[in-house]
Every structure is written in structure tokens, then in C-alpha cells.
Amino acid sequence: MDWIAYSGPSTEDVDSILARLAESCRFSVDTETVSLKDKRCIGIGIGMSPGEAFYFFVRPNRAPRLPWLLSLISDPNRTKVYHNATFDLEVLDKLALELGLPPPDDTNIADTSLMARVQGLQGSLKGLAQELLGLDIQEVSDILEPRKTMLDVDPMTVAAKCVADCKATVALDNYFADL
């Protein structure tokens, strides 16, 4: 098993879809962690469009292509779009250090939470996606029981949440680019 989840319209095999990602110069990135306090990465999402995203498992099972993915995220020639980049970059820095890989690029980035603030808007990714795009996505609190961690949640549920966040981040990036 490749330990990659995909959500989108393509019927291509994983290698073909990832080849398209390798050619992409702008994509969204989101991380899922054990908890807000325990920032060990359990997965990384990549959004290619408002309708297409991937999730690479990190814990408890690691996607074999994780080093390849982190090389894309560390490439300063690609624009990485985050929602709350500070959090995700900290998580990715720790993961890269843990794996002995180059840190994520923090120079060629965009942040939809900052784009929203510049427009006088505030809110979570869920709130902005709902208000501006009519999208209904989940927050961690929607899938996580009290006193549990994300490692206690079904991995495919975590993956589905993350890919939805990635798609919403791409859609918000597109929305703000059109203003």
C-alpha cells in the first residue's frame, strides 16, 4: 500500500496523478497533527485544485513517497498556499528535522488567513469557506471526541478532513486572487 489518499475526479493511476503534481508550480498544503499541543505530524494534505487533493499518511503508517513530497514543499520555485502558515510550517519543520530532510520553503508561500485579514475578514478556515464559498467543511472539533487525539480517529476520516481543507484553501486562494 502506498499510504496516499486521493479525492478528486481523476481515474488515472496514482503515479500519473502525482506526475501532474510534480509539474505544478502552485498548490495548497495542510498538516494534521496528533493535537494542537502535540504537533507531531500525522499527515500532509496537498490541494491541486478546488476539486482535487491528496493526503500523505505520516503516522501511524508512513507513505513511502513522503521524502518526495517534502522535496516539493521545500522547493522555493513552487508557491505553497497555506491557511495559517505559521502552524503548518512549524509542523513541517519538525517533521523534516525528524526525517533528516530539508526544511519546508518559507519564502514562496501564500496564506489565505492573511489574505482574509487584509480584506477585513476573520474566521476559521471552516467559517471563511462557508461564508465566502458556500462550502461546508469540518473542523477538528467536529471529528475529535473530548480527551482523545487525532491518532484515535479513523485515519480515513482524518484524510477526508485534510483533503477538504486543502481544496477549500485552493478555492479561497482563487477567490482572493479574483478580487
Predicted confidence band at 68 (pLDDT cuts at 50, 70, 90)?
very high
* The predicted structure's pLDDT at residue 150: 96
Sign of the torsion angle spanned by Cα atoms 78, 81, 86, 87: negative
Residue 30 is classified by DSSP as: E
* The predicted structure's pLDDT at residue 2: 81
* The predicted structure's pLDDT at residue 123: 84
pLDDT higher than 90, residue 8: yes
* The predicted structure's pLDDT at residue 32: 98
Contact 153, 143 (CB under 8 A): yes
Contact 69, 56 (CB under 8 A): yes
What is the model's pTM? 0.96
The closest of 68, 65, 70 to 88, measured between CA atoms, is 70
Instruction: Look at the chain and count its residues.
Output: 179
Residue written as cell 494534521? 32
In this prediction, residues 32-37 reach a mean pLDDT of 94
Q: What is the CA radius of gyration of the chain?
A: 15
d(CA 62, CA 48): 21
Find the DSSP H helices in the chain. 14-23, 66-73, 85-99, 112-118, 125-128, 140-143, 155-177
d(CA 113, CA 85): 8
pLDDT higher than 70, residue 1: no
In this prediction, residues 107-115 reach a mean pLDDT of 98
Phi, psi for 34 (deg, rounded to 5): -55, -45
In this prediction, residues 80-99 reach a mean pLDDT of 98
Q: What is the pLDDT of residues 112-154, one digit of tens each?
A: 999 999 999 988 999 999 999 999 999 998 999 888 999 999 9
Predicted confidence band at 29 (pLDDT cuts at 50, 70, 90)?
very high
* SS3 track for 120-133: CCCCCHHHHHHHHH
